[in-house]
Amino acid sequence: MSEEIIDQVEENDFEEICSDEVDRVVEILDGLIENIQSENVKHFLEEASSSVYYLVYEDDADSEDAVAEDGEELEQAA
């Protein structure tokens, strides 16, 4: 059923998600992860946390990687 929901979201216009909401959800999921004993459940919660995080921060991480690579190249050239 979750795949159906994802397909529907991809077909429709994207909703704008604020970083405050993402931060709050990731914090709650991380709190759950700390209190879970099952490694399988932890794995799924970690994936969910990462997926939610990258809804907002994926582009920022890619930009930082590109800047870091450019900075390394500049240092090597000097």
Does residue 17 surpass a pLDDT of 80? Answer: yes
What would the mean pLDDT of 4-33 be, rounded to a whole number? Answer: 82
Does residue 24 surpass a pLDDT of 90? Answer: yes
For residue range 62-78, list pLDDT tens digits in order.
Answer: 555 544 555 554 444 44
Domain annotation covers residue 25: yes
For residue range 30-54, list pLDDT tens digits in order.
Answer: 999 999 999 999 999 999 999 999 9
- DSSP string computed for 14-35: PPP--HHHHHHHHHHHHHHHHT
Domain annotation covers residue 13: no
Domain annotation covers residue 2: no
| Residue with the larger pLDDT of the pair 77 and 22 | 22
Question: For the chain, what is the domain count?
Answer: 1
